[in-house]
């Protein structure tokens, strides 16, 4: 049943009433639907479920992102298992240093994940959180778990 967004139940009482029971997996809400309306109702429910799941996933993602500007803030955000948005000088050697210096006892070091298309404002005086060199862009960082 994992991954099935809707469960459709049909029993003898449902047949007598010319209906089916539809149960949403995401909310557990049960509803009785007349059989002739089933196809349209399922289409609508699938769109509603998709929209609801998207909203929840987007909120969780936004809550898991932490914007930092210093190495100490970066380490704390990693400790909290956040997705970290930090100003970076865009140098491979610095990324390698971050990987090495952010390793935990049983944790991999942090690495760059992606660069957002829509960049937050990058002031001219913004420094790379890891090297102290002038930052060239904002980048997402995180660990693989």
Tens-digit pLDDT profile for residues 59-82 = 999 999 999 999 999 999 999 999
pTM of the model: 0.76
Q: Which CATH number fits domain 68-142: 1.20.1250.20, 3.20.20.70, 3.30.110.30, 3.40.50.300?
A: 3.30.110.30
Task: List where CATH 3.30.110.30 sits in the chain.
Answer: 68-142
Residue 68, token pair as written in the block: 């930092």
Q: Which of 79, 82, 85 is nearest to 103 (CA)?
A: 79
Task: With a cut of 70, say whether residue 2 has pLDDT above it.
Answer: no
Report the distance separating Cα 69 and Cα 76, nearest Å: 12
pLDDT-derived band at 110 (thresholds 50, 70, 90) equals: very high
Q: Which residues pair with 28 in a beta bridge?
A: none
The CA–CA distances, whole Å, from 17 to 9, 13, 21, 24, 34 equal 13, 6, 11, 21, 8
DSSP 3-state assignment of 85?
Answer: strand
The CA–CA distances, whole Å, from 47 to 5, 6, 9, 61, 76 equal 11, 12, 20, 21, 39
Mean pLDDT in residue range 107-118: 94
- Torsion angle, alpha carbons of 68, 87, 116, 99, to 10: -80
């Amino acid at each position: 049943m994992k991954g099935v967004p809707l469960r459709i139940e049909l029993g003898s009482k449902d047949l007598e009433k010319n209906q089916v029971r539809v149960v949403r997996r995401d909310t557990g809400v049960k509803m009785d639907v007349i059989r002739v309306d089933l196809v349209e109702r399922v289409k609508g429910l699938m769109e509603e479920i998709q929209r609801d799941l998207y909203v929840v996933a987007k909120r969780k993602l936004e809550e898991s992102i932490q914007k930092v500007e210093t190495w100490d803030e970066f380490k704390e955000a990693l400790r909290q298992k956040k997705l970290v948005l930090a100003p970076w000088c865009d140098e491979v050697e610095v990324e390698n240093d971050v990987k090495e210096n952010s390793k935990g006892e049983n944790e991999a070091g942090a690495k760059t994940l992606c660069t957002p298309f829509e960049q937050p404002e990058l002031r001219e005086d913004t420094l790379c959180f890891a090297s102290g060199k002038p930052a060239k862009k904002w980048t997402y960082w995180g660990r693989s778990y």
